[in-house]
Structure 1
Amino acid sequence: MSESSFQSSRLTTLTGLLLPLSDRYLLLPNVAVAELIDYQDSTPEEGAPEWFLGPISWRQLTLPLLSFEAACGGRTKVGGRARIVVLNALGGRNELKFIALLTQGIPRSCKLDSQLSYVDVPLTELELAAVQVGETVARVPDLIGLEQWLVDAGLMHPAA
């Protein structure tokens, strides 16, 4: 392998995480995930949107726990393998550094390359694309859009 083809293949390979939800898989870049933690119950405030499951505690912070399924019009399920994925907020807001997302198991690492195949399936407002990852069709979530939903609903909690 020549040096230029090695560099080319090295630059087009990324590691992602497949997050199992109750009705779909999400594909996230590794850098989006801060930590996987055990599920903890939370109670939303009266009148909160269905996708807001309430505040949780993480590293002495209070984070908003969200259901991606409910945000996309589905139902929130808390299965026996439920976990919480703490995501790094990508929107650059000082008051929102992390958000928590309900997942139905342990995320799986996967290698992605520039040959990623897009899948033509209906997408919701918070999904940017659907791609084939091995045998799995995964949705690419609009994480900045999800953060904006938190802002619009007045559900941001200070990061400090």
Structure 2
Amino acid sequence: MSNLPDELRGVIVQTGAGQLLLPNSVITEVLSFSDPDAVDGAPSWLLGLIRWRGWQVPLLDFADLAGVQARTTQLQGGRRRVIVVKALGGNPRLPYMALLADGFPRLVTVKASNLQAPADATDIAACIHAIATLNDEEAIIPDLDKVEAKLTALAA
């Protein structure tokens, strides 16, 4: 992580997997949760499709996708949010994806010196780029390229 600028703008998103740390630049919109349209034969981590600005956007449960044990607390209806994220892989059929969240995301300024991958980072799941320590709490940094690749493979 030595090529990072001194400070980064990020967004902390609470999910069933715990805290996700996402770049501020990939967050497109935060929506209230509504039940997605089901997708026949979809894996458990693909909760369905939501309609957003004329697009059918896949809604993901990141904890399930990454193989991270979900927290025991249940998301409550009024606190659920959908975080629409830009897909950066250039697939014209998949310009966006969405993550199920617990409450509103919050902006953070992260000093590069505070992002420390743990020593046991060799056993990171396929869709997790790193697990960082941020203000004495763990935050998962998702590998959005791998998430997008999984979604693209489903559509093929």
**Does TM, scored on the shorter chain, surpass 0.5?**
yes
> Which residue is equivalent to 2:76?
79
Return the alpha-carbon distance in structure 1 between the equivalents of residues 17 and 98 of structure 2. 18
Q: Which sits farther off after the overlay, 28-37 or 57-66? A: 57-66
1:142 Cα deviation (Å)? Answer: 0.6
CA distances 1:2-49 after superposition (whole Å, capped 9, x unpaired): xxxxxxxxx521110111012311111100100111001014222111
Is this contact kept in 2: 1:120–1:130, CA < 8 A? no
Aligned pair 1:19/2:5, yes or no? Answer: no
In the alignment, the residues of structure 2 paired with residue 119 and residue 79 of structure 1 have an alpha-carbon distance, to the nearest angstrom, of 31
| Greater CA drift, 17-26 or 66-75 | 66-75
Instruction: Indicate the SS of the match to 2:63.
Output: helix
Residue in 1 that maps onto 2:55:
61
Letter in 2 for 1:141: P
Report the RMSD for the aligned CA atoms in angstroms.
Answer: 1.9
Unaligned runs of 5+ in 1: 1-10, 156-160
Aligned to 1:152: 153
Shift of 1:75: 5.0
Correspondence list, 1:134-145, <5 A: 134-145=135-146
Q: Deviations 1:37-90 (Å, cap 9, x if unpaired)?
A: 100101422211111111101122211111101102245954331100000111
Aligned-pair distance for 1:99?
A: 0.6
Q: Can you list the C-alpha shifts for 1:103-130, whole angstroms capped at 9, x where unaligned?
A: 1111111111221222245522110111
Q: Structure 1 CA distance, aligned partners of 2:75 and 2:57?
A: 18
Greater C-alpha Rg = 1
CA 137–154 in structure 1, closer or farther in 2 if over 3 Å, else same: same
Q: Give, in whole Å, the separation in 2 of the partners of 1:108 and 1:136.
A: 15
CA distance in structure 1 between the partners assigned to 2:89 and 2:44 by the alignment: 22
Q: Counterparts of 2:118 and 2:128 in 1: how far apart (Å)?
A: 12
Residue 117 of structure 2 corresponds to 118
- Aligned pair in 2 of structure 1 residues 49, 75: CA closer, same or farther (>3 Å)? farther
Identity percentage of aligned residues:
32
- Which whole-Å CA distance do the structure 2 matches of 1:18 and 1:120 have between them? 22
C-alpha separation in 2, matches of 1:127 and 1:35: 22
Q: In 1, distance between residues paired with 2:89 and 2:36?
A: 24
TM-score, L = length of structure 2: 0.84
Task: Output the CA distance in 1 between the equivalents of 2:76 and 2:130.
Answer: 26
Structure 2: state its 5+ residue gaps.
none
